[in-house]
Amino acid sequence: MKKILNYAVVCLFWLAALPLWAENYPYRSDVLWVTVPDHADWLYETGEKAEVEVQFYKYGIPQDKVEVTYEIGGDMMPADKSGTVTLKNGRAVISLGTMNQPGFLDCRLSATVGGKKYNHHVKVGFSPEKLQPYTKLPADFNTFWEKNLAEAAKCPMKYTIEPAPEYSSEKSDCYLIKLQCFRPGSYVYGYLTRPKASGKYPVVLCPPGAGVKTIKEPKRHIYYADEGCIRLEMEIHGLNPTMSGEEFKEISSAFGNYLVNGIDNRDNYYMKKVYMACVRAIDYLTSLPDWDGKNVIVQGGSQGGALALITAGLDKRVTACVANHPALSDMAGYKAGRAGGYPHLFKNYQGMDTPEKINTLAYYDVVNFAKQIKVPVYMTWGYNDNTCPPTTSYIVYNVLDCPKEALITPINEHWTSEATEYGHLKWIQKHLK
C-alpha cells in the first residue's frame, strides 16, 4: 500500500469531533468492552499467532470473576474454536491461534452480568495485503459496458430543478433535481448543493447506501458547497424525497430485494440501470455552467462506496474517487471459503450459487471496475465491520492499480465518524487539478 494510516485506537472517541455532545464511548451504554490485540495495528503475518486481551467494565468498574464465552472463526464464517475465560480485575487473555492463508479471524465474545447478556467481537488480520479476489474478470467486460454506455447515452437528458431553500445555508443554495436516465421515462432524484458566490467549481457525485429509501439528510454535508464544491447527493430508485411517508411506504413495498432482481441475466439485472444512472448524473454535473471544466469526483460509503468506485471505473471524466467500506465487492468470495461482499448473496439467500448468477455478478462486481481505475483513490474501512467485511475492502484496495491511499480504523464497524467524513473533503481538495 502506498500509504496506510493505521488507527489502532481501542476506544475511538469519535464523538469528540462533535463538541456539543459531552458523551462517553460507547454512546449511553452502561458497559464497555475493550479488546487489545498484542499487535498494535491488529495485523499479523500468516502463520503468526495472535492474542487478544479482553477487558469488560460496567459503570467504568472492572468486572471481576465474570465468565466470558468466546467463539473464533474466519471473517463472516462459522466458528471453528470456542471456549471460556474468567475475568480477573476485569481482564483476561484469549489465544486466537493463526491463519495459514491471508484473511481475518473474528473473536466473538459474550458475557452475562446482572442477568443481561452483552456481546462484542474483534477481528484481526493475517497478511491481508495479499488477499486477491475470487471473482474473475470476464474477457468481454469492457466491451459489455461500452455497449451499455452507448445505449444509455441515447436517452435524452431531461431534468427539472426546483429550489430547496430549507436545505440551503448562508453560503450555499440547494435544489431538488429530477433527472431522466437509462431509458425515457426512467428518473432518479437528487439534491444539488452549490456555492452562492459566482465562480467555477469542482463537481462531486455522492451515490447512496443500500436500501429502498429517500435522501433523508441533504444538509448533513453542506460543507462541501460551503467550501467550494458543487455536490449532487442522489438516490437510485426514482423515489421523490418530498413524498409523504404513506406514499413512500406504498411505492417502496413494490421493490422487493432489488439486489437480486434480474440477476440470472447480465442484461436484465436491476443494477444496470443504477450504474447508468450514476454516469448520467456525471453528464448532468459536467453540463453545469459553474463546473470548473476539470474536476469530477465520486464519493460514497457502503453501496455508495461501491457505486463511487464503479463510476470511476466506467467514466473517464472522473478525476478522483473516495470510497469507504464498499459493498458489492467480491460477492462470490464465499465460494473460496471466506467472506464475500454485501449483500452476502451466498450466505443469506437460497439458490444463488448457479452458473448464471455467478456470471452476472462478475460483470457487476466492484473488483472488476476497480481494475479499470487510473485516477487517485482514497479508501477507508474498519475491521469489525460485518456488513462490508474487511476481507472484501482489502481485496478491492489490493487490485487498484492507480495512486491510492487508505485510512484504516480497526475498531470501526459499519460506520464512519464525522471527522473521517469531513476528512474526505480535505483529501478531495488536495487532489483538485
344 tagged catalytic = no
Q: Residue 13 above 80 pLDDT? A: no
What pLDDT digit, counting tens, does each position of 223-262 carry? Answer: 999 999 999 999 999 999 998 888 888 887 777 889 999 9
What average pLDDT does this structure show over 148-163? 97
Q: Are 255 and 238 in contact (CB under 8 A)?
A: no
How does residue 16 score in pLDDT terms, banded at 50, 70 and 90? Answer: very low
What pLDDT digit, counting tens, does each position of 251-300 carry? Answer: 877 778 899 999 999 999 999 999 999 999 999 999 999 999 999 999 99
Residues of the chain above pLDDT 90, percent: 87
* DSSP characters over 70-135: EEEEETTS-EEEEEEEE-BTTEEEEEEE--SSSEEEEEEEEEEETTEEEEEEEEEEESGGG---SS
Cell numbers for 270: 436491476
Task: Please name which of 334, 335, 342 lies closest in space to residue 366, comparing C-alpha atoms.
Answer: 342
What average pLDDT does this structure show over 341-350? 94
Q: Domain-by-domain residue ranges, the chain?
A: 27-130, 141-430
Q: What is the pLDDT of residue 25?
A: 59
Q: What is the pLDDT of residue 134?
A: 98
Q: What is the C-alpha separation between 171 and 426, in angstroms, rounded?
A: 18
385 tagged catalytic = yes
Mean pLDDT (the chain, rounded):
93
Task: Please name which of 230, 344, 343 lies closest in space to residue 290, comparing C-alpha atoms.
Answer: 230
Q: What is the C-alpha separation between 18 and 325, in angstroms, rounded?
A: 22
Q: Are 214 and 240 in contact (CB under 8 A)?
A: yes
Q: Are 247 and 216 in contact (CB under 8 A)?
A: no
Q: What is the pLDDT of residue 20?
A: 37
Q: Among 75, 106, 315, 385, which one carries the catalytic annotation?
A: 385
Alpha carbon of 276 to those of 98, 179, 233, 288, 428: distances in Å?
Answer: 43, 12, 16, 19, 24
Task: Please name which of 99, 123, 130, 73 lies closest in space to residue 347, comparing C-alpha atoms.
Answer: 73
**Contacts for 84 with CB less than 8 Å, ≥ 6 apart:** 67, 68, 69, 70
Q: What is the C-alpha separation between 59 and 31, in angstroms, rounded?
A: 6
Q: Are 249 and 200 in contact (CB under 8 A)?
A: no
Q: Among 127, 168, 172, 302, which one carries the catalytic annotation?
A: 302
What average pLDDT does this structure show over 97-111? 98
Q: What is the pLDDT of residue 6?
A: 42
Q: What is the pLDDT of residue 249?
A: 80
Q: What is the DSSP letter of 64?
A: P
Q: Residue 19 above 90 pLDDT? A: no
How does residue 131 score in pLDDT terms, banded at 50, 70 and 90? Answer: very high
CATH architecture of the domain with residue range 141-430 = 3-Layer(aba) Sandwich (3.40)
Q: What is the C-alpha separation between 37 and 50, in angstroms, rounded?
A: 7
Distance of CA 247 to the CA centre of its chain: 28
- 3-state class of 231 per DSSP? strand
- 3-state class of 181 per DSSP? coil
Q: What is the pLDDT of residue 7?
A: 38
Q: What is the pTM of this model?
A: 0.93
Q: What is the C-alpha separation between 431 and 373, in angstroms, rounded?
A: 16
Q: What is the DSSP letter of 290?
A: T
**Contacts for 254 with CB less than 8 Å, ≥ 6 apart:** none
Q: Among 120, 221, 414, 431, which one carries the catalytic annotation?
A: 414
Helix (H) or strand (E) holding 378: strand 377-381
Q: Residue 35 above 90 pLDDT? A: yes
Other C-beta atoms lying within 10 Å of the C-beta of residue 392:
32
What average pLDDT does this structure show over 124-132? 98
Q: Which of 94-108, 111-125, 158-172, 206-220 has the weakest average pLDDT? A: 206-220
Q: Residue 10 above 70 pLDDT? A: no
Q: Residue 47 above 90 pLDDT? A: yes
Q: What is the C-alpha separation between 105 and 170, in angstroms, rounded?
A: 49
302 tagged catalytic = yes
Q: What is the pLDDT of residue 24?
A: 54
Q: Are 271 and 259 in contact (CB under 8 A)?
A: yes
Q: What is the pLDDT of residue 5?
A: 41
What average pLDDT does this structure show over 108-135? 97
Top-level CATH class of 27-130?
A: mainly beta
Task: Please name which of 150, 172, 151, 154 lies closest in space to residue 163, comparing C-alpha atoms.
Answer: 172
- 3-state class of 1 per DSSP? coil
Q: What is the pLDDT of residue 401?
A: 98
What average pLDDT does this structure show over 17-24? 42
